[in-house]
Chains A and B, each alone.
Chain A
Amino acid sequence: MGNSMTDQTLTSETQTPPKDQSDKKPGIIRVEGMHKWYGDFHVLKDLNLTVDQGERIVICGPSGSGKSTFIRCINRLEEHQQGKIIVDDVELTDDVRQIDTVRREVGMVFQHFNLFPHLTVLENCCLSPIWVRKTPRKEAEASAMEYLERVKIPDQANKFPGQLSGGQQQRVAIARALCMKPKIMLFDEPTSALDPEMIKEVLDVMIELAGSGMTMMCVTHEMGFAKTVADRVIFMDGGEIVEQAPPHEFFTNPQEARTQKFLQQILAH
């Protein structure tokens, strides 16, 4: 577990926000020597990463560097061809039941929300708890309302997604994922499709979520968010993890030339 040891030392250096390490499980996500190809195209090259329970990871990197592909491998929306991915002690293989087990524990929020347009906000939130967790409908609805309150839109519960603004839709998508009471949340550029005035409302919800101790992996270009909540920032380029460090270190003292170049480019704006 050499990998997880170095991660522990990295995380222990972070100050914001403090979290309780006592009953947290080390290595809830473990990626070992993982490779992925699209045909001949080698998208992900020898990725190694261990994420502990309650850790908040931000992944950044230039467009096409494989960030989305990587995060989608964690719940097997994409399959990897070599190496291991172990989520909450379940290895992701071709076994459909193991995949379903992992997906129940891993929530995901997409760039384009992907709410179900034929169902109301409340039905969107209850669908999976009812059919997958077999929660009684009354209970599922009550818990969905709690999460909708947490993302500050309980009054929209009976509307259809098409009747909401982008920011509201993304908050519903977060609530929908949370309704499954996942152990891990994955975010793939959750604010990139939003107008500037809506970005804040979504980021606020995510910051609140981070404060509650959720394990989070988040692909984002919001460097402010990374500085506030991340325990570790991971920089990817050309399908490789080039550098990882706690945010203050990452932003003030990047080690790799590629990271420096990337930071110059995005911080220039």
Chain B
Amino acid sequence: MKKQTIDTRPAGPKPWNDPRVRSLFFQAIAIAFVFWGGWVLVDNTLSNMESRGISTGFGFLNETAGFGIIMNLVPYDATMSYGRTFWVGLTNTLLVSAMGVVAATILGFIIGVARLSSNWLVAKMALVYIEVIRNIPLLLQIFFWYFAVLSNLPSPRQSVDVGGALFLNNRGLYLPEPLTQEGFGIVWGGILLAIAAVVGIRIWAKKRQLATGQIFPTFKVGVAILVVVPLVSYLVAGSPIEWDIPALKGFNFGGGITIIPELAALWIALSLYTASFIAEIVRSGILSVSKGQTEASKALGLPNGLTLRLVVIPQAMRVIIPPLTSQYLNLVKNSSLATAIGYPDLVAVFMGTTLNQTGQAVEVVAITMAVYLTISLLISLFMNIYNRAVAIKER
């Protein structure tokens, strides 16, 4: 038998078997495809627009819009520019999204905890809510609230009247609007004073806890101060608020603040729908904290409330936050279903009417997409910062 010399170096793989070469190759192909696709799109669009005689550029933003919008948070009328319609649409989108995020979070946490309740009825009701709501398409739910519930409210003349100040009918919910009068500066002063006092008490309470171990009821006292001080300064200043109370004028109400049914329907549907997902996230977050943690906490004599607050929730949050972020993103994106019932959000106003009137498809779509992307990235950023703050340090 012939003795072979053994090469101790591992034999290098053939280039097409080398994982590094392979991955480079596939990445190159992928990039080539993306560029080619992008070029085809741009080239195609430009030549189409040229053949139809559409000008490009953002000059249209300064032209007069000439159409009305049923709800505006920034001042608007039909003589204003297309640029202004963008801000109206954007603020409307932000409003319904912010309202939706707050309501969905509160409702979702309550239902998520209820789902784990030891009370059979409460737990089953939460389960039914979750299963029903999250399995019906959102668009259907928006239609339900808009057409089946809110449209069937009485007409303005037969409005539901709460104390002569609050009116509900099929045109919306009418609330009195506070108009600040001369002397309201004193009330602002009172509010600032109250906030400063609460911050001061917090610092003092923490110091005292470090020194003497006594725990001060900061929350209760803080709430009391925040209520009492502004109230007293309000009375001292001679009640410097006048209420603009809505009143029936002709066929409809005028004055006060109006919540239009489009906003209400969209907000209710978005909140209820997203809450059902958040509830499941909260439930699984709490369940992810092992039973041993609760037992150890109880064995140390911590009562149930403190166990939840100091042991369970801090650990559950780190499981809850990433999927919660994506639910917030979903809610913002889902708010574009506003178009279906005519709530004037960014998509309805800007990508709808403005785009139809100007024909500036590329610019309008690009701006709108950039806005949604920015909102989403901002939400992700804030949630990541928060998540980093509550993350568990290990090794």
Contact = CB atoms under 8 A, between A and B. Distances in A.
B310 A131 contact: yes
B300 interface: yes
Contacts of A107: 299-300
A269 interface: no
B314 A118 contact: yes
Contacts of A103: 298-301
Contacts of A138: 210-211
B298 A77 contact: yes
A162 B296 contact: no
A176 B300 contact: yes
Contacts of A114: 290, 292-293, 295-296
Nearest to B303: A100
Nearest to A96: B303
Given A103-B298, A132-B300, A136-B209, A160 B393 contact: yes
Contact of B301 (A104, A115, A139, A162): A104
Nearest to A136: B213
A132 B302 contact: yes
B299 A75 contact: yes
Nearest to A132: B301
Contacts of A77: 295, 298-299
B315 A118 contact: yes
A176 to B, nearest CB: 7
Given A117-B394, A162-B395, A127 B296 contact: no
Interface of B: 209-215, 290, 292-293, 295-304, 306, 310-311, 314-315, 318, 390, 392-395
Contacts of A131: 215, 302, 306, 310
A115 B296 contact: yes
Given A77-B299, A110-B299, A117-B394, 6 more contacts: A77-B298, A100-B303, A107-B299, A131-B306, A132-B301, A136-B212
Contacts of B213: 130, 133-137, 139-140
A117 B296 CA distance: 12
Contacts of B299: 75, 77, 103, 106-108, 110, 177
A132 B210 CA distance: 14
A112 interface: yes
B227 to A, nearest CB: 27
Contacts of B306: 131-132
B394 A110 contact: no
Contact of A127 (B290, B292, B310, B392): B310
A180 interface: yes
Contacts of B394: 117, 160, 162-163
Contacts of B292: 110, 112, 114
Contacts of A100: 301, 303
A251 interface: no
Contacts of A132: 300-302, 306
A116 B301 contact: no
Contacts of A163: 394-395
15 contacts: A77-B295, A77-B299, A103-B300, A104-B301, A110-B299, A116-B311, A117-B394, A130-B209, A132-B300, A132-B301, A140-B213, A160-B394, A162-B393, A163-B394, A180-B301
A176 B302 CA distance: 13
Nearest to B394: A162
B392 A162 contact: yes
Contacts of A65: none
Contacts of A176: 300
B315 A117 contact: yes
